[in-house]
Amino acid sequence: MNSAPYRVRRAVLDDLAALRPMWQSLNLPVADLEKRLTEFQVAVDADGKVVGGIGFRMLNRQADIHSESFSDFALADTVRPLLWERVQTLSANHGMVRLWTREQAPFWKHQGLHPADADELRRLPPEWAGAGSGWLTLRLKDEDAIISLEKEFAMFMAAEKERTARAFRQARLIKYIATALAIVFALFVAAALFYLMRRNPDLLTPRR
C-alpha cells in the first residue's frame, strides 16, 4: 500500500478525540496518556483524520517508544514506517543515545531493536523500570564515549569559568591598587600644597 496519503505530525489537543478510543481498545491507561499528550506523534490521512499514533518520551538522552495504536490495524504496515521515520528524526534532533520500547510487533525488531540483556537493562532509566519487563533496546551512539566527552566538556567549562573568575579578581585587584595609588597621590598633592601654603602664605596671592 502506498504511504503517500499519510503524514506524521506532533499530536495536538484536538487529536484526543481520535486517540482515546484507540487507547481504550488496547487497554492502555487513557487518563495517564491524556496528561502526556505532548509525547505523542500521530499519523493522519489525506483528510486529516488520525489513523495511528505513538508515544516518544525522553529522559537523560534515552527515549521510550510506547503506546502504539491504530484506528485500523490493517494500516499498521503502512503507517509504522512513517512513525519510525519520525522517531529517528526526533532521536537525531534531541541527541538520543539509546532507544527503548516494550512494543512487541516484529516491525520493531526488524529496525534493530533487540531484547535488552542484563547489562543493557542497567542503563534503563529507573523512572521507566516500573513499567514492566519485555524491553527491547537499540543503541544509537556510544553512551560511555558520550558521557566521557560530556565530563571532559564539563571539566573544560569549569576550568574556563575559574580562569574567567581569576581574571575578574585580578582586574578588581588592579582597580583597587590604582584607586589606592590615586588617593595616595591626591593626598600627597594636598599635603604638598598645604605645606607650601604654610611656608609661603602669599604663594597664591597675585603680585601687583
Q: What is the pLDDT of residue 133?
A: 85
Query: Where along the chain do its domains lie?
Result: 7-141, 142-208
Q: What is the pLDDT of residues 158-206, one digit of tens each?
A: 767 878 888 888 888 899 899 998 998 888 888 887 777 777 776 666 6
Mean pLDDT over residues 24-34, rounded?
97
Q: What is the pLDDT of residue 132?
A: 75
Residue 3 has pLDDT above 60, yes or no: no
Taking residue 90's Cβ as centre, other Cβ atoms within 10 Å add up to 16
Q: What is the pLDDT of residues 84-118, one digit of tens each?
A: 999 999 999 999 999 999 999 999 999 999 999 99
Residue carrying the nine cell digits 595616595: 184
Q: What is the pLDDT of residue 189?
A: 84
Cα(121)–Cα(199) distance, integer angstroms: 92
Q: What is the pLDDT of residue 153?
A: 60
Q: What is the pLDDT of residue 207?
A: 61
Mean pLDDT over residues 153-161, rounded?
70
Q: What is the pLDDT of residue 42?
A: 98
Q: What is the pLDDT of residue 1?
A: 46
Q: Which CATH number does 7-141 carry?
A: 3.40.630.30
